[in-house]
Structure 1
Amino acid sequence: MPSVPPDDRLRVAMICVHTSPLDQPGTGDAGGMNVYVVELAQALARQGSEVEIFTRATSSATPEVVEVSPGVSVRHITAGPFEGLDKNDLPGQLCAFTAGVLRTEASRTAGWYDVVHAHYWLSGQAGFLAADRWDVPLVHTMHTMAKVKNAYLAPGDHPEPRGRVIGEEQVVEAADALVASTPAEADELVDMYGADRRRVHVVPPGVDLRLFRPGDGDPDEVMAAERVRLGLPDGPLVLFAGRVQPLKGPDVVVEALAAMRDAGRTVPTLVVLGGPSGRPTALRELQALAAQVGVADHLVLHPPVPRTELAGWFRAADLVVVPSHSESFGLVAVEAQACGTPVVAAAVGGLRTVVRDGESGVLVRGHEPARWGQVLADLLDAPEERARLREGAARAGASFGWDEAASAMLEVYREARDVRRASLAAAHRPTA
């Protein structure tokens, strides 16, 4: 681990309004962002910083402060009712949430926090005020963007409201630094939101390479052992891991199974590892679709699992699918590859960077089920090609590390601090 200069030992206020990093990813609003926030915070702490994560309390039983690991804590702010609030209801609670954040700082020594790092636009709104009040830089990571999602809307999905678009534009204008996960996301910030490119920084997220790694020994033997342990069937097996919602596209793979059957190809088992998001009926709707197209016997639904167990599910699969309609990064794709499992992903957003087409997996243009069925069938019928992709997947996954991401983020924090100081100095410079 690189040595840490004294001025890098920052106190960071991370803001994550709508979902706690303590929540189980894969259901509700919890997903890759939850993992991103807690993993980045812990990596920053390993390099000497202190990170306090502010999130909205969703249960009266949750302690006000939870120590996650040395140097990292999660503070739950009461803002509105604990239960029953949809993410779309949260803008009305931003005033109460921000007041709770400001009260926390008010109990500290003056100048306690060095930087505010907000995640998602709701947090950016709260972070905007906090950074302004504390006179520290605002660093913002979008994670997803309304204009991008609306441009690639999944069938049956609802467009993001105009209020979110306006809120995102305000945060882009206010932020001292914007963090994108890939060059493609950086371009979207500039082209679609008019961001100042000088303030846009690309910092690829990482993956816990101690947890997500290939198994020891022959990959086929590892796969067989994992399937026995998890109670999964023999034969071709494809895994989808994530929230079950239109944006993530699990319906595309279900219909691809039917296309494979109609083309006379072997139909694999599709394991969907995740919970409903947005609509509580999402799982039943996916089951109904599988029954409608005649592949219900090939669909296995399983609740999301803790991250300590997720790597085994990746190693048990022949292929992992990420058919998202838009994806700023695609953490599942990185984690699966780090386990040595090839990924078949939609050629959208950050997935075009994360998945090395023809080397660690295959990128599929569009969401036509027949095309997806052909790609999956061809790979499942080609064990030598899958073996080659396994090796490439492991190499690709191993290139992402959280310590490297934290080092790069510290550089962003320092530059944002310098930008803010220069701006304040210019504002107070006497005119001739």
Structure 2
Amino acid sequence: MKVAMISLHTSPLEQPGVGDAGGMNVYVINTARQLARRGVEVDIYTRATRPSQGQVVEVEENLRVINIVAGPYEGLAKEELPTQLAAFAGGVLEYVRCREPLTYDVIHSHYWLSGQVGWLLRDLWAAPLIHTAHTLAAVKNAHRSDEDTPESEARRICEQQLVDNADLLVVNTEEETRDLVAHYDADADVVEIIPPGADTELFTPGTDRNTELSRRQLGIPLHAKVVAFVGRLQEFKGPQVLLRAAAELFERDPHRNLRILLCGGVSGASSSDTTYRDLAAELGISRRVRFLGPRPPEELVHVYQAADIVAMPSYNESFGLVAVEAQATGTPVVAARAGGLSIAVADGETGLLVDTHDASDWADALAALLDDDARRSAMGEAAVGHAARFSWAGAAERLESVYERALSEELSGCHQRNAGG
């Protein structure tokens, strides 16, 4: 089987936490690696953002990343990428045409921009289109904070077209299926649920010595309590919620020995390089907050191991890969009861779920674990077993079965295009 994966707006080789790179990058590269190891040939098409990388990157046997020039290498925001859909699609077609007889059995697109290209290629190549949205405009708008910029109606229309036209839709959770049905009138019979995974060989529980070494490397006091946030610094991910909750905790007890780590890069139109530093200063907690740049996985594990708690105050998550990675290291998670986080975190067993984004509620939840060492330790131990339920190998095995289902269902030579949206 040969699969063309489309990941237009962000390369799976980019560092998660930088710009628009995040959980989707982790998902794409890890499922592709595992599919390749099962003997499936995978080509990932993405937009070239620097000439030094070359057109084709051989990642490992059966897996390549193909960089397609579409617009300038730098200076093009994600919001401007719809202007490059034709250029990108043309670049993919040119690459394939010049390498006959290169053909694909299946197309798997990730995110709505890629889906629009995948929809065109599906018609041209007569290959089934599997689409994974990762996030949805209607859901993001329903759950966004008051300060966050709403997603455009143009995006929602494009997503509706993909729901109407893709052969199969892959989601992470049952809740995503319900969202597709409720907001996009999807046929539940064409939706396949495949939970993502975590690299449990890399993200492993830390010993006391690991924790001590990690804290020394990060410059964190050994005897402080540490709450870490890992992800893109944007309103939708909720770092402002954590900062305000921390300020509430310090207001309750000015002598509390607590440090906050924010690990990630700024992303989104509503944030700048100083947004969260300025907020920490405004709240009077700058000396208690450390800003860490995005980390590759082999360094990110030390952030998880250094933390007593990982906080995920997102307004919505299709799943929440950070929660699984943190739990795999034995660190309990306090998360918003939003999207897939209610599956990624076992409430009361491996962490706590918070029903609101109110600073007082978050301060209460964090204090409940920070001030109860025995409970927090027990949750950390349970978290390792919970995280072990999610694996990339298992996700890839199920993805391959979805591809086989798509191939087994007869496709007509001409597709009925539902382009209304």
Contact 1:338/1:398, CA 8 A, preserved across alignment: yes
The aligned amino acid for 1:31 is G
1:229 paired to 2:217:
yes
1:194-213 deviation per Cα after TM superposition (whole angstroms, max 9, x unaligned):
11111000001111111111
Question: SS at 2:70's partner residue?
Answer: coil
1:250 maps to which of 239, 242, 247: 239
2:344 maps to which of 350, 354, 358: 354
Contact 1:101/1:130, CA 8 A, preserved across alignment: no
Percentage of pairs with the same residue:
47
2:65 maps to which of 74, 82, 86: 74
2:208 maps to which of 220, 225, 228: 220
Question: SS at 1:374's partner residue?
Answer: helix
Give TM-score scaled by structure 1 length.
0.93
Q: CA deviation at 1:399?
A: 1.0
Counterpart CA distance in 2 for 1:111 and 1:269 is: 54
Counterpart CA distance in 1 for 2:413 and 2:117 is: 21
Question: Which position in structure 2 is the counterpart of 1:189?
Answer: 180
Question: Which position in structure 2 is the counterpart of 1:363?
Answer: 353
Contact 1:240/1:271, CA 8 A, preserved across alignment: yes
Task: State which drifts further: 21-30 or 255-264.
Answer: 255-264
2:251 maps to which of 262, 270, 282: 262
Matches of residues 8-407 of structure 1 in structure 2 within 5 Å? 10-110=1-101, 112-215=103-206, 219-234=207-222, 235-264=224-253, 266=256, 268-279=258-269, 282-407=272-397
Counterpart CA distance in 2 for 1:349 and 1:267 is: 32
User: Which segments of 5 or more consecutive residues in structure 1 lack a partner in the other structure?
Assistant: 1-9, 428-432
Counterpart CA distance in 2 for 1:175 and 1:206 is: 24
The aligned amino acid for 1:88 is E
Question: SS at 1:288's partner residue?
Answer: helix
Contact 1:27/1:244, CA 8 A, preserved across alignment: no
Counterpart CA distance in 2 for 1:228 and 1:155 is: 38
Q: CA deviation at 1:263?
A: 2.2
Q: CA deviation at 1:62?
A: 2.4
Counterpart CA distance in 2 for 1:279 and 1:165 is: 18
User: Which segments of 5 or more consecutive residues in structure 2 lack a partner in the other structure?
Assistant: 417-421
Task: Let me know the Cα RMSD of the aligned residues.
Answer: 1.6
1:348-367 deviation per Cα after TM superposition (whole angstroms, max 9, x unaligned):
00101111101111111110
Give TM-score scaled by structure 2 length.
0.95
Q: CA deviation at 1:179?
A: 0.3
Question: Which position in structure 2 is the counterpart of 1:411?
Answer: 401
Counterpart CA distance in 1 for 2:385 and 2:216 is: 26
Q: CA deviation at 1:284?
A: 1.1
**Aligned length, in residue pairs:** 414
Q: CA deviation at 1:51?
A: 0.5
Question: SS at 2:109's partner residue?
Answer: strand
Contact 1:257/1:267, CA 8 A, preserved across alignment: no
The aligned amino acid for 1:311 is V
1:253-308 deviation per Cα after TM superposition (whole angstroms, max 9, x unaligned):
10001111222372520000111112495341111111111111111001111111
Counterpart CA distance in 1 for 2:216 and 2:171 is: 40
Task: State which drifts further: 222-231 or 179-188.
Answer: 222-231
Contact 1:29/1:277, CA 8 A, preserved across alignment: yes
1:99-140 deviation per Cα after TM superposition (whole angstroms, max 9, x unaligned):
111122223444720100000000000000111111111000
1:66-101 deviation per Cα after TM superposition (whole angstroms, max 9, x unaligned):
111111111010111111111011111100100111
Question: SS at 1:282's partner residue?
Answer: coil
Counterpart CA distance in 1 for 2:40 and 2:87 is: 28
